[in-house]
Amino acid sequence: MKDVGSVIVIGGGVVGASCAHYLQQRGAHVTIVEKKTFGAACSHGNCGFVCPSHVLPLAEPGAIRSTMKAMLSPKSPFSIKPRLDVKLWMWLLNFARHCNEHDMLAGGHALQALLMSSMDEYERLVRESVVNCEWQKKGLLYVYKEQQRLDAYESTNQLLSETFHEPAIKYTGKQLEEHYPSLKPGQAGAWFYEHDAHLRPDKLMESWKAKLLNSGAIIKEDCEVQQIIQTDGQAVSLQTNQGELTADRFVVATGALTPFLEKFLGCKIPIQPGKGYSLTMPRPKVCPTVPMIFPERRVAVTPMESGYRLGSIMEFAGYDESIKPERLKLLREGADAFLKDPYCEPVEEEWFGWRPMTYDSLPIIDRSPSLQNLWIAAGHNMIGLSMSTGTGKLIAEMMSGDKPHIDPTPFRVTRF
């Protein structure tokens, strides 16, 4: 194992925090540089699912047709703000190119390796009290109102069972009424993934922060990296709004904002911000006992120990920071269609986050092709929380020159 020396991790999200932790474990002196507040971007208000069941990439056969159809409805949770943005249209074109069975299966296997590794790591971190985040392993329930849609999932279940060894349990509407009293009667049924877990994302980030600081890390907030200064194929220092910072090695873990650093990285970073929303509130009286997704409305419900969250929506609207009330209404309406007690006032937080979306649904976990001492860990799409710990472990292994515990090839940045 190589001595990794001093490392600056750019970005204080869940991916940056995980990289920092695993690098510290290998003896690195770590500084995290965060443009705003540690843990306050996309890693703050997400749905908190740690879900190895989400192995299939978003780009799958038929995805374009079903998305276009859904977008015709004014209540669609998916939208693209029409505009002249070459990068967005190239992204969409490449997304369409990946909507085939071969790419879906190859992507699925790569994602599964990272998801499984991350789940093992989370379980260890929780068991060893490294993080304290309201961890619960209670599964994830996909509830359907329409029989036809419930049954249509059969082929996906077959694929997941046979190819990925990730079978779901099917419940009838009657069984749902017996086991899940928070649901309104009359649902067609559900598919249940018993091995998924969930946590409270803001507690996780709080806990990571305390753990990293206790172990000697430095966290610099309100510190934006504006430039990566380089000579002879090495990153030498970072130009920030708080002056110049130097280190032996660097990790770029800047989520959806990574394209702003593209010109310094020597490679293409085709990441688009996929904006999602959530509402956080106290637990309703008749609270679901397990996390749920309502695929017909694309709304997710997370019953946390200390609260309750509704989340969803995918807007490709650039780096737009507004919170649209009509989007939040969709969350409430979606939950209302399925749950007896769908939400609870007062809402404590209305939130949005930019998911770092790549067109092939895979993250980038790789060394920069032009800077020998800089690694990139970004583009974790809709499941960055679920893939963060495996990513951190992989980055630390790559940087120390150790054999990676999973094959990093599918995550190479040169694939674009």
Ligand X SMILES: Cc1cc2nc3c(=O)[nH]c(=O)nc-3n(C[C@H](O)[C@H](O)[C@H](O)COP(=O)(O)OP(=O)(O)OC[C@H]3O[C@@H](n4cnc5c(N)ncnc54)[C@H](O)[C@@H]3O)c2cc1C
- The residues that touch ligand X, with contacts defined as CB under 6 A, are 10-16, 33-36, 41-43, 46-49, 224-225, 253-257, 276-278, 311, 353, 355-356, 378, 380-386
Q: Shortest gap between Cβ of 154 and ligand X (angstroms)?
A: 24
Vertex 157: Cα angle to 156 and 161 (nearest 5): 120
Measured CA to CA, the distance from residue 78 to residue 17 in angstroms comes to 30
Q: Shortest gap between Cβ of 379 and ligand X (angstroms)?
A: 8
Give the nearer residue to ligand X in terms of CB position, either 225 or 362. 225
Give the nearer residue to ligand X in terms of CB position, either 3 or 326. 326
Q: Is the peptide bond before 408 cis (omega within 30 degrees of 0)?
A: no
Give the nearer residue to ligand X in terms of CB position, either 261 or 339. 261
Give the nearer residue to ligand X in terms of CB position, either 280 or 373. 280
**Which has the closest alpha carbon to 288: 129, 142, 126?**
142
Q: Shortest gap between Cβ of 257 and ligand X (angstroms)?
A: 4
Handedness of CA 311, 317, 319, 320 (dihedral sign): negative
Annotate 164-227 with DSSP letters as a single string: HS---EEEEHHHHHHH-TTBPTT--EEEEETT-EE--HHHHHHHHHHHHHHTT-EEE-S--EEE
Q: Shortest gap between Cβ of 298 and ligand X (angstroms)?
A: 11
Measured CA to CA, the distance from residue 113 to residue 362 in angstroms comes to 12
**Which has the closest alpha carbon to 338: 146, 149, 145, 172?**
145
Give the nearer residue to ligand X in terms of CB position, either 188 or 251. 251
Asked if residues 140 and 300 have their Cβ atoms less than 8 Å apart, the reply is no
**Which has the closest alpha carbon to 354: 329, 381, 325?**
381
Give the nearer residue to ligand X in terms of CB position, either 118 or 182. 118
Q: Shortest gap between Cβ of 192 and ligand X (angstroms)?
A: 17
Cα separations (Å) of 23 from 7, 16, 28, 394? 8, 10, 5, 10
Give the nearer residue to ligand X in terms of CB position, either 160 or 257. 257
Give the nearer residue to ligand X in terms of CB position, either 124 or 174. 124
Q: Shortest gap between Cβ of 20 and ligand X (angstroms)?
A: 11
Handedness of CA 321, 323, 328, 330 (dihedral sign): negative
Kindly state the DSSP code that residue 36 receives in the 8-state scheme.
S
Quickly count: other Cβ atoms within 10 Å of residue 293's Cβ.
24
Q: Shortest gap between Cβ of 191 and ligand X (angstroms)?
A: 17
Helix (H, G, I), strand (E, B) or coil at 133: coil
Quickly count: other Cβ atoms within 10 Å of residue 390's Cβ.
25
Q: Shortest gap between Cβ of 276 and ligand X (angstroms)?
A: 3
Give the nearer residue to ligand X in terms of CB position, either 173 or 354. 354
Measured CA to CA, the distance from residue 134 to residue 205 in angstroms comes to 12
Q: Shortest gap between Cβ of 314 and ligand X (angstroms)?
A: 8
